[in-house]
């Protein structure tokens, strides 16, 4: 476990896009728990984690890995997510994980991404802001702002260790989020491909 119980173990996210039209994405609401459950994915994924998928075209895959960890994959248009929310007594925590993020797109104007998204919650469970650790294929018109910060991670066929000092992230990169208001964090492993239908 990390300094305040925020730690994930090996994660895999993959997103593959083939000829789909762009669309917006939606977030799922999850229950905020007092502590992170099944952080090492040793139990079944429905223990602590919530999985969801939208398959406009193609298929998604959310499953545990045989040697520990979890795989979230989306092929063609839609999304697949694995999510858990945990309460924080203090925003001064380290988020650490080992992950392999890959994304592919094969047509101009379309994109896919694989991401670990950290959403910061207030005491009422409202989202205050987000940090993304992501890889991207294709182009988007994303723009960071006072409540959203995206950190590009190189694509890799090997697991890479990722760390984020949440207090430093809030102070340095999310001026629209008051650190003292942060009372929870939503951890989401996401594979996303733009579009709702085949072209």
Number of domains in the chain: 1
What is the reported pLDDT for 53? Answer: 94
The answer to whether residue 6 sits within a structural domain is no
pLDDT above 80 (res 107): no
User: Which residues make Cβ contacts (< 8 Å) with residue 101, sequence separation at least 6?
Assistant: 12, 13, 14, 114, 115, 116, 133, 134, 135, 153, 155, 156
**Of 141, 99, 114, 154, whose CA–CA distance to 17 is shortest?**
114
Compute the mean pLDDT over every residue in the chain, rounded to the nearest whole number.
83
Measured CA to CA, the distance from residue 135 to residue 99 in angstroms comes to 11
Query: pTM surpassing 0.75?
Result: yes
Q: Which has more pLDDT, 42 or 185? A: 185
What is the domain extent for residue 124? 11-193
Highest mean predicted confidence (pLDDT) among 21-25, 75-79, 147-151: 147-151
CA 98 to chain centre: 13
**Of 127, 113, 46, whose CA–CA distance to 80 is shortest?**
113
Measured CA to CA, the distance from residue 191 to residue 184 in angstroms comes to 23
Q: What angle do CA 85, 155, 28 make, to 5 degrees?
A: 25
The answer to whether residue 199 sits within a structural domain is no
pLDDT above 60 (res 199): no
Q: What is the pLDDT of residues 36-74, one digit of tens each?
A: 898 888 888 989 999 999 998 889 999 988 888 899 999
The answer to whether residue 101 sits within a structural domain is yes
pLDDT band of 189, cuts 50, 70, 90: very high
Measured CA to CA, the distance from residue 40 to residue 83 in angstroms comes to 14
Q: List the structure tokens of 172.
A: 């340095």
The answer to whether residue 2 sits within a structural domain is no
What is the reported pLDDT for 106? Answer: 78
Return the CATH number at 185: 2.60.120
User: Which residues make Cβ contacts (< 8 Å) with residue 67, sequence separation at least 6?
Assistant: 10
The answer to whether residue 125 sits within a structural domain is yes
What is the reported pLDDT for 41? Answer: 87
Measured CA to CA, the distance from residue 129 to residue 170 in angstroms comes to 9
Measured CA to CA, the distance from residue 104 to residue 192 in angstroms comes to 10
């Amino acid at each position: 476990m990390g300094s305040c119980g925020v730690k994930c173990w090996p994660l895999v996210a993959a997103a593959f896009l083939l000829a789909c039209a762009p669309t917006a994405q939606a977030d799922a609401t999850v229950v905020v728990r007092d502590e992170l459950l099944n952080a090492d994915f040793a139990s079944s994924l429905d223990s602590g984690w919530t999985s969801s998928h939208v398959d406009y075209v193609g298929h998604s895959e959310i499953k545990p890995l045989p040697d520990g960890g979890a795989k979230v994959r989306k092929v063609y248009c839609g999304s697949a997510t694995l999510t858990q929310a945990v309460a924080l007594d203090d925003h001064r925590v380290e988020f650490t994980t080992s992950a392999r993020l890959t994304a592919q797109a094969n047509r101009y104007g379309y994109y896919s991404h694989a991401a670990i998204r950290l959403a910061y919650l207030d005491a009422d469970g409202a989202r205050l802001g987000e940090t993304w650790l992501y890889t991207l294929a294709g182009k988007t018109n994303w723009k960071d702002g006072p409540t959203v910060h995206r950190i590009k991670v190189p694509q890799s066929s090997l697991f890479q260790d990722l760390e984020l000092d949440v207090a430093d992230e809030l102070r340095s990169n999310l001026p629209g989020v008051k650190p003292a208001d942060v009372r929870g964090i939503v951890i989401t492993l996401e594979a996303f491909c733009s579009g709702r239908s085949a072209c």
